[in-house]
Structure 1
Amino acid sequence: FFRRCAHQGGIAERKAMIDREHDLSITKQAEVLQISRGSVYYLPRPVPDADLAVMRRLDRLHLEFPFAGSRMLRGLLAAEGCKIGRRHVKTLMRRMGIEALYRRPRTTKPEPGHKIYPYLLRGMEITRPNQVWAMDITYIPMARGFVYLAVVLDWATRRVLSWRLSITMEAAFCVETLEDALALHGRPDVFNTDQGSQFTGADFTAVLAGNGIAISMDGKGAWRDNVFVERLWRSVKYEEVYLRAYETVSEARDSIGRYLDFY
């Protein structure tokens, strides 16, 4: 039954087919229906309250000082009276999906099977919709937990074409967001992302290549390569997220959705 349904309807319809009372586990049902497990559960990760408080502060500091690494962020926290070790800061930064944003020599290799594509937008004049789309993920704090927000943005119009929330940064969640944008708005000439493993993996790049879309990737740690998405995050955080304390993921989804419609 589930394998037959996997070929019917869109992602929302397939999610509705999940039967939480079925003998087949929810994880297995999601796999067979070809949807991400994270998008089915939609629950914040259990994290100690003390860590959540530090993560919320790190999120604000990262927006103010995008060039700050774990050493500087630890110092900024210490100046505010928060005693925390640098290793702990690095651990929380990894969980949040943030890093210091500055150009540096590439000293690490991409994950096996993941290809890094060149940045194609330098000097390009962006003059029309669907010429260039960009995508990124950001951390969203909640009252008792957190989720991740992914968006696809049109560079010419600054319009948010599609977005999703997830409890993980897994590739499937990003692929679904991309597929939503393609289904609703056609396809761009160029698609730009950072070098995150979600975007360099074969599942994601295959969707772009299969639609004849040129793939562009930021320089490592170079936030200016995707500056319009960074501006969006700043607006989302200061005009929506930091003014709320979402109790549930559904509340976060509804409120963020209203804001993005306005944006």
Structure 2
Amino acid sequence: MIKAKGKSRGFASLTTITHCFGLKRDAYYKYKDRADTNLKLEQQIIDIVRKRRRFLPREGVRKLIKSLDVDFNKANIKVGRDTLFNVLRKHQMLTLRKKTTARTTNSYHRFYKYSNIIKDMEVTRPNQIWVSDITYIRTVKCFCYLALTTDMHSRKIVGYDLSNSLEINGCVRALNKALYQAKNIEQLIHHSDRGIQYCSNVYTQILKRNNIGISMQKKTIAMKMQWPNV
């Protein structure tokens, strides 16, 4: 405990303590003034943010810094984005964004899972290997699912279908569109993950009727793709 004046048992004067650290009394008071000012500023920021959060409880910092400019100006305080982040983090007032994802691959099913036959294969021409996959698109109300069939050589999407479910119909329509537009599919190999859509009898029978080889891998496929000119 610090006692600025007088000598009491168990106490040390402020002058004695500051000298121990090679400082002057003025340095202590300047530090204390800055700390008090910062605490006052933090409390002002917290009060303003709490009032705002009553109406928009999930509003993040990036939107807050824009919407609170008027309130900060009225309070005659200047608050930057980093300062607002630090204050809200210190007081555990940051809003965590809820991550919502959609699972597109279900490999736990009764259908036969084919081997990966394109591993280490050199791709030298179009229509040598087609890669099919499903991705999701988040909308305001729900998820949409985009089934894609892509030529591995050109990276061009040769078939696609957008639907509101993960049922096999979307994948079948994407595949049929690719087959309809293809000119030469001799010795073509179809590659995908082991999802139920691609392992299903309906899908694999289409491949077999067209003499297309079937290749599958365990992990989800990710490719850079080029949309066709339409």
- TM bucket (normalised to shorter chain) is 0.5 to 0.7
Aligned counterpart, 1:256: none
RMSD between aligned residues: 2.9
The structure whose RCO (Cα within 8 Å, separation 6+) is larger is: 1
Deviations 1:132-173 (A, max 9, x none): 001101011123322111111000111110111000010111
Q: Retained in 1: the 8 A contact 2:130–2:150?
A: yes
Comparing both structures, which one devotes a greater share of its residues to helix?
A: 1
SS in 2 for 1:156: coil
* Structure 2 residues without counterparts, runs of 5 or longer: 1-93
SS in 2 for 1:149: strand
Aligned counterpart, 2:157: 160
In the alignment, structure 1 residue 137 sits paired with structure 2 residue 134: yes
SS in 2 for 1:207: helix
SS in 1 for 2:178: helix
Aligned sequence identity (%): 29
Deviations 1:80-130 (A, max 9, x none): 73276xxxx7xx54xx1257xxxxxxxx98412x11000111110100011
Aligned residues: 137
What does residue range 93-108 of structure 1 map to in structure 2 within 5 Å? 93=101, 96-97=102-103
What does residue range 101-140 of structure 1 map to in structure 2 within 5 Å? 110-112=108-110, 114-140=111-137
Q: Retained in 2: the 8 A contact 1:129–1:157?
A: yes
Match among 145, 150, 168 for residue 148 of structure 1: 145
TM-score, L = length of structure 2: 0.53
What does residue range 80-91 of structure 1 map to in structure 2 within 5 Å? 81-82=95-96
Distance 1:190 1:261, change over 3 A: closer
Match among 170, 174, 178 for residue 171 of structure 2: 174
Q: Retained in 2: the 8 A contact 1:195–1:217?
A: yes
TM-score, L = length of structure 1: 0.46
Letter in 2 for 1:97: R
Q: Retained in 2: the 8 A contact 1:97–1:138?
A: no
**Separation in structure 1 between the aligned mates of residue 164 and residue 206 of structure 2, nearest angstrom:** 23
SS in 2 for 1:140: strand
